[in-house]
Chains A and B, each alone.
Chain A
Amino acid sequence: MAKKSISLSKEFLKGLWDENPVLRMLLGLCPTLAVTNSAINGLAMGLATTFVLLSSSVIISLLRKVIPHQVRIAGYIVIIATFVTVADRYMAAFLPEISKALGPYVPLIVVNCVILGRQEAFASKNGVGRSIIDALGMGSGFILVLLVLGSIRELFGSATIFNLQILGDWFNPWMIMILPPGAFLTLGLLIGLGNWLNERKVKI
């Protein structure tokens, strides 16, 4: 039970860096790449994913002794899919523009491996309080990466961040950054940067 000794703040912070879902664990790459052509889309996607992660973590950690082991994955997926439907309907009703921009990637949160991974690795083994902290940490880590990636791509691809003009008229936007190849290249560089920073931290 060494795990119990980890303080709650560490539980939260590990999601931001040490076990960052995207940069360190390489989970949830599909939405990360697909919706980050602007900062606002990245943020919306991150928030929607965190909502689903948090709500399903609560339910699953409450039900962790009830769900039979053999059918747990199917059970988790049904719970996750239910919350995704809630998030999808909510966004379609109150944020129609963003919902349109994200398109089928909102329902695809169902198969986001970050969520299923956390349920399997954490919520199904820990109490509600701890699971909430873990979900919030992982969610924030996910939002952070999406926001950074979205901002970089929007900055170079359309010279703006959150639709605010950042670079002047002298800057000729790099179309490629908002197209699919830009997503792969930027994420590749970010992962490299993450590894590099991590290595330096260890050496010091």
Chain B
Amino acid sequence: MNLLLLFISAAIVNNFVLTYFLGICPFVGVSKRISSAVSMGLAVMFVMTITAAVTWLIYHLLLVPYHIEILEYVSFILVIASLVQLVEMFIKKVSKPLYDTLGIYLPLITTNCAILGLALFSVLREYSFAESMVFGVGAGAGFTLALVIMAGIREELELSNIPKPFRGAGITMIVAGSLALAFMGFAGLI
């Protein structure tokens, strides 16, 4: 039951993008089409889940026993960078069309703050192994949700008449603001 609550909290109530501002770059960059938003979201969710597991193991089995927590950031980012590389190779091998759709954004997952943020948060909140896995899946689902909603709105926006200075990033931020406002309504859920 607790795990379910944790999942809902990570995915909706404390949505990574809209309340913690993590992963804003892909949120602005890849939210022009729903189809690419979905595949980007799924790729991030996949990397997040693996990252949550691997960084937990590294932190609790390697860094803590040897008292080298100071290497936390360096080791986490290295793990994430190599994981993304692996996922990239894996997707290229298994599904070439998906690989082509994600294109440049796949390697950029490395510098997606949502991934490192996830690892840092689960250390900070002292989650158990199962909890950090659920947290990873939930956060990934929340990221996908926000990205897809945003892409849907932006597809509609293309047809509307926006003042010139606000075209592109400006209006995206303002729409994100309204979305964040809407998501605040979930605050009392848990």
Interface status of A107 (Cβ within 8 A of chain B): yes
With A81-B77, A184-B180, A188-B166 as given contacts, are A33 and B21 in contact (CB-CB < 8 Å)?
yes
Q: A29-B28, A104-B124 are in contact. Are A176 and B164 (CB under 8 A)?
A: no
- Chain B residues near A189: list those with CB within 8 A: 170, 174
What residues on B are CB-neighbors of A93 within 8 Å?
none
**Quick check: is B35 within 8 A (CB to CB) of the other chain?**
no
- Select the residue from B25, B112, B171 with max chain A CB neighbours within 10 A: B25
Give the Cβ gap from A153 to chain B, nearest Cβ, in Å: 12
A187 touches B120 (CB 8 A): no
Q: How far is the CA of A191 from the CA of B164 in the complex (A)?
A: 12
CB pair B181 A176 closer than 8 Å: yes
Contact: B77 with A111, CB < 8 Å?
Answer: yes
B24 within 8 A of A: yes
Within 8 A of B (CB), among A106-154: 107-108, 110-113, 116
Q: Among A33, A89, A116, A196, which residue has the most Cβ atoms of chain B within 10 A?
A: A33
Known: A34-B20, A187-B173. A111 touches B113 (CB 8 A): yes
Contact status B184-A30, CB under 8 Å: no
Residues of chain B within 8 A (CB-CB) of A181 are 177-178, 180-181, 184
Q: Inside 8 A of A89's CB, which chain B residues have their CB?
A: 70
For residue B18, CB closer than 8 A to chain A, the reply is yes
Q: Is the CB of B28 within 8 A of A26?
A: yes
Cα distance A103–B184 in the bound complex, in angstroms: 21
- A73, CB-defined interface residue at 8 Å: yes
Q: How far is the CA of A120 from the CA of B181 in the complex (A)?
A: 36
A63 at the interface (CB under 8 A from B): no
Of B21, B71, B177, which one neighbours A29 at CB under 8 angstroms?
Answer: B21
Which residue in chain B gives the minimum CB-CB distance to A71? B81
| SS of B interface (majority) | helix
**Does chain A have a CB within 8 A of B186?**
no
A192 within 8 A of B: yes
Known: A104-B117, A180-B180. A78 touches B169 (CB 8 A): no
A77 interfacial contact with B, CB 8 Å: yes
How many angstroms between the C-alpha atoms of A113 and B55 in the bound complex? 22
Within 8 A of A (CB), among B150-190: 163-166, 169-174, 176-178, 180-181, 184
Question: A4 to B163, alpha carbons, bound, how many Å?
Answer: 38
Q: Please name all residues of chain A whose beta carbon is closer than 8 Å to the beta carbon of B178 when the two chains form the complex.
A: 181
Q: How far is the CA of A110 from the CA of B73 in the complex (A)?
A: 8
A91 in contact (CB, < 8 A): no
B22 in the interface (beta carbon within 8 A):
yes
Output the nearest chain B residue to A82 by Cβ-Cβ distance.
B74
21 pairs across A/B with beta carbons < 8 Å? A29-B24, A29-B25, A30-B22, A34-B22, A74-B81, A85-B73, A104-B120, A107-B73, A108-B113, A111-B77, A111-B115, A113-B25, A180-B19, A188-B170, A191-B170, A191-B173, A192-B165, A192-B170, A195-B165, A195-B166, A199-B164
- Chain B residues with CB under 8 Å of chain A are 18-25, 28, 70-74, 77-78, 81, 110-113, 115-117, 120-121, 124, 163-166, 169-174, 176-178, 180-181, 184
